[in-house]
Amino acid sequence: MAQLDEADRLLSDSMLSSATLFGASLVILLREGLEALLVVIALVAVLARTGRQDGMRYVHIGWVSALVAGIATWAAAQSLISISGASREVMEGSAALLAAIVLLYVGIWMHSKTHAAQWQAYIQQHINAHLTAGTLWGLALLAFIAVYREVFETVLFYQTLLTQAGINQYPVIASGFGLAVSLLAILAWVLVRYSVKLPVARFFSITTYLLLALAFILMGKTVSALQEAALMSITPLPVSFEMAWVGVKSTWQGILAQLSVLLVFLAFIRTNRSRQKISAATTSESNLDRPGVTPADSD
């Protein structure tokens, strides 16, 4: 019994803390849900401005179908993925690795501060084509793709959170999910009722750093799980330490893996700033080339 208690303590120590799980659950759904919400509202707004009320029904069919498909995806993930027995560590490591990569690639690169604006511009461009051609079912497909993309990512991230949590921590994840749903419902009502302009760029900028922190933690958990499953070697550092709440352990493999997450993010930031400087310089030059535009005007 003493050994079983010790085994339970060790397994509990390898899980994410309740505060981390709650914060991750809240931020993930709030970010993904807000982007899907902005896309649907953009669709509805364009239809309202053009007086095509007949297309509203197809938009609602599209996003509702995406939610139903998301529930089916979640059910499939629960039935097809087993995280018990000897395969637990391998599943934890694989799920955490996939989620960390997606968080970096999708959550940071593709879902940058301008990504929501780019999606709305894409929708406004294609909605006119569907209305002109009379293919209203194309609107339903457009809404479905936009929303299901966010739902699929949400399912992936929540499945990963469950592999990093104990059964007694499931209510913590559910409470974060419930709070996010409530906040999204309030935001949707406010946006539709009062057409309030949200600081979307700032919101996405802040949540990008939060998702980076989650990717950093999950990368550390990935290495630890694969080492415990004997699929990755263990090379200890000269100094022994451990910070379980951020997934940091004193092995070269874990430290290098987590440093790679930071390096990729820093490279993205540097590249993005360089592009912004080039874009600003190009815009300034084009303004100066225009007749009647002075340097003070361009500033």
124 burial level (CB within 10 Å; 0-12, 13-18, 19+):
middle
Contacts of 104 (CB under 8 A, 6+ apart): 212, 215, 261, 264, 265
At 8, the pLDDT band (50, 70, 90 cuts) reads low
pLDDT value for 174: 93
**Around 76, how many Cα atoms within 13 Å sit in the side-chain half-sphere?**
9
Q: Is a pLDDT exceeding 90 seen at residue 296?
A: no
Q: Which residue has the higher pLDDT, 119 or 97?
A: 97
**Would you state the torsion angle of the CA atoms of residues 27, 271, 278, 280, taken in this order, to the nearest 10 degrees?**
20
Task: State the burial class of residue 3 (Cβ atoms within 10 Å of its Cβ: 0-12, 13-18, 19+).
Answer: exposed
Confidence tier at 60 by pLDDT (50, 70, 90): confident
What residues does each domain of the chain span?
14-229
Say if residue 58's pLDDT is above 50.
Answer: yes
Give the pLDDT confidence of 231-271 residue by residue, as tens digits: 888 888 888 877 766 778 888 898 999 999 889 888 887 87
Predicted model pTM:
0.66
The predicted-structure confidence for 195-224, as pLDDT tens digits, reads as follows: 666 666 676 777 777 778 888 888 887 888
Taking the C-alpha atoms of residue 5 and residue 11, their distance in angstroms, rounded to an integer, is 10
Q: What pLDDT is stored for residue 298 in this prediction?
A: 45
- Cβ–Cβ < 8 Å for 239, 250: yes
Q: Once rounded to an integer, what is the mean pLDDT over residues 226-231?
A: 79
- Mean pLDDT, all residues of the chain: 76
Nearest by Cα to 179 from 37, 35, 22, 17: 22
Q: pLDDT (tens digit, 9 = 90+) per residue, 165-186?
A: 878 888 999 999 999 999 999 9
Percent of the chain with pLDDT over 90: 8
